[in-house]
Amino acid sequence: MNNVPRTLITGGAGFIGSHLCDRFLAEGHEVICMDNFLTGRPDNVAHLIGHERFRLIQHDVTNYIYVEGPLDYVLHFASPASPIDYLKYPIQTLKVGALGTHKALGLAKAKGARFLIASTSEVYGDPLIHPQPETYWGNVNPVGLRGVYDEAKRFAEAMTMAYHRYHGVETRIVRIFNTYGPRMRLDDGRALPTFMGQALRGEPITVFGDGSQTRSFCYVDDLVEGIFRLLMSDTSDPVNIGNPDEITILDFAQEVIRLTGSASAIAFKPLPEDDPKVRQPDITLARERLGWAPKVDRTDGLKRTLAYFEAFIAAEAERA
């Protein structure tokens, strides 16, 4: 398979990683998916097993990464990503953001590959500037419960820039804002799958605080398009990818209830520590440099995601 680009995707069996595997295979790449299944599932890439350009390797990327042969691209997506996941795995989260990023960068350098790191809107913390442009340095509590994730990603960005500046590695940094879609785990604790699961089961929808905090949800296909464009661009500066359509969590809970036709009530629960009060991407840079903007509106994206969760729950019930 000469001239076929070879791409390593760490965390490739996760929610976003598995969609990237699909996309890069569709672009004609050979894809090596590397994952230790800490928060992801082999099921997410089961449909790719047997594809002649796909390989799945079980490996913890905080240890030395060995990949035989050339590599053109390294996409580092391995990391617990939902608050309950990184609160359950605080040390693993710090290790994969720090040691894992170092190993993945070392591999990219050795292979002469282009490197892309999955960073996050969490680098902005509880933001004092709204919406958040890439030039904002953020408001993060390093010793709070969420610090393990936020600081790991901030370190990962710093390490990426150091490899770019000192070793001349071609690097890309994507700051991902709340993304959703099929293959999210119903039990990952994030607002969207939690609300959908609760609505489908007729249980109360757990809104934390008074629900006035905002988020801006991006459908996964839009995110993947933005990541692909960023990777193929010549932009080594961080770029926000997200959907600026901002909504309060209370309005969002009501939207899920309406969409599912559920009889669920709202149950207010305490707001977790350091929960950001607002979040909305400024996507001017992505528009200008990548010609990118999201295309899928929330109602459409939620319907597609709901169909996935309904099918997932039905398959689980059949297995039981």
Report, as residue numbers or ranges, the catalytic residues: 149
CB of 238 to ligand UDP, least distance (A): 18
In the list ligand UDP, ligand NAD, none, the entry touching 191 (Cβ below 5 to 8 angstroms by class) is: ligand UDP
For residues 246 and 216, give the distance between their C-alpha atoms in angstroms, rounded to a whole number: 4
If one asks whether residue 81 binds ligand NAD (CB under 6 A), the answer comes out as yes
CB of 77 closer than 8 Å to CB of 11: yes
Read off the tokens for 162.
């150091």
If one asks whether residue 11 binds ligand NAD (CB under 6 A), the answer comes out as yes
CB of 122 closer than 8 Å to CB of 150: yes
Q: Which is nearer to ligand UDP, 184 or 283 (CB)?
A: 184
Judged by CB under 6 A, the residue of 107, 190, 231, 262 near ligand UDP is 190
DSSP-based three-state secondary structure for 116:
strand
Proportion of the chain in helix, strand, coil states, percent, rounded to 5 = 45, 20, 40
DSSP-based three-state secondary structure for 310:
helix
CB of 78 to ligand NAD, least distance (A): 3
CB of 2 to ligand NAD, least distance (A): 29
In the list ligand UDP, ligand NAD, none, the entry touching 118 (Cβ below 5 to 8 angstroms by class) is: ligand NAD
Residues from 64 through 103 that contact ligand UDP (CB under 6 A):
82-83
Q: State the Rg of the chain over Cα.
A: 19
Give the C-alpha distances (Å, rounded to integers) separating 49 from 42, 46, 57, 261. 10, 5, 11, 37
In the list ligand NAD, ligand UDP, none, the entry touching 176 (Cβ below 5 to 8 angstroms by class) is: ligand NAD
> HEC string of 149-182?
HHHHHHHHHHHHHHHHHHHCCCEEEEEECCEECC
If one asks whether residue 185 binds ligand UDP (CB under 6 A), the answer comes out as no
CB of 15 closer than 8 Å to CB of 220: yes
Judged by CB under 6 A, the residue of 113, 176, 231, 285 near ligand NAD is 176
CB of 251 to ligand NAD, least distance (A): 19
Residues near ligand UDP (CB under 6 A) are: 82-83, 178, 190-191, 194, 206-208, 213, 215, 249, 272, 275
